[in-house]
Amino acid sequence: MDIKIESSWKEHLKEEFEKPYFTDLTSFVKAEYTTQKIYPPGKLIFNAFEKCPFDKVKVVILGQDPYHEPGQAHGLCFSVPDGISLPPSLQNIFKEIKNDLEIPVPKSGNLERWAEQGVFLLNATLTVRAHQAGSHQKKGWETFTDNVIRMLADSGEHLVFLLWGAYAQRKGELINTNKHLVLSSVHPSPLSAHRGFFGNHQFSKANEYLFAYGKKPINW
């Protein structure tokens, strides 16, 4: 199956795209875009892959669903395009970065600048119906993104995985912690951030780890 995706990822995932579950997933997603309002725009489904080629990945941040309200989702977890108000979880992420690294909170929630430095911003489910959180879960996306995580964990060297909340933490089973740094905490959502996201210093810890293994730290 010819999937439009960044070339290094296409090479690594070409066998995945031929599996029966992915054929079924593609049929489902195409039908949804034809009959429903779906986010993100079709050309941005694989934006996380486009902005962060396979061999450039240094840090993986895992989200769950794309944002499901107008104008927010653009294929990078937690990120919103320039000019869109910061969602609450992203506000809390920026608050922790300010607390941890004394970096001022930016006006824009567009995290493409992170992706271009090697931060792979992956949602477990890559599409969603408008106003219906979780509507494209258990259709095949999780199988695909689990295999992406497994591939990175197997092929990569000294990556940092940031797993926020119970859903993301379950993905830790796919990662060899002797080979990579896995940092877990509660989700940055306002419902939970005060229970351990604030003060977790994961952004500085990630940079310390990258530096220790000869990689350029992220300018958060």
Task: Please pick, among 65, 82, 146, 154, the residue that the annotation labels catalytic.
Answer: 65
User: 146 pairs with which residues across the strands?
Assistant: none
Q: Give the whole-angstrom CA distance, residue 6 versus residue 151.
A: 16
Q: Using H for helix, E for strand and C for coil, what is the string for 162-215?
A: EEEHHHHHHHHHHCCCCCCEEEEECCCCCCCHHHCCCCCCHHHHHHHHHHHCCC
Q: Where does residue 15 rank: exposed (0-12), middle (13-18), buried (19+ CB within 10 A)?
A: exposed
Give me 177's structure tokens: 């912690």
Question: Taking Cα atoms as reference points, which of 5, 32, 21, 14 lies closest to residue 141?
Answer: 21
Give me 175's structure tokens: 């990662």
Q: Give the whole-angstrom CA distance, residue 6 versus residue 10.
A: 6
DSSP-derived 3-state class of residue 61: strand
Helix (H) / strand (E) containing 118: none
Q: Is 2 a catalytic residue?
A: no
Q: Give the whole-angstrom CA distance, residue 39 versus residue 157.
A: 33
Q: Which residues belong to the active site?
A: 65
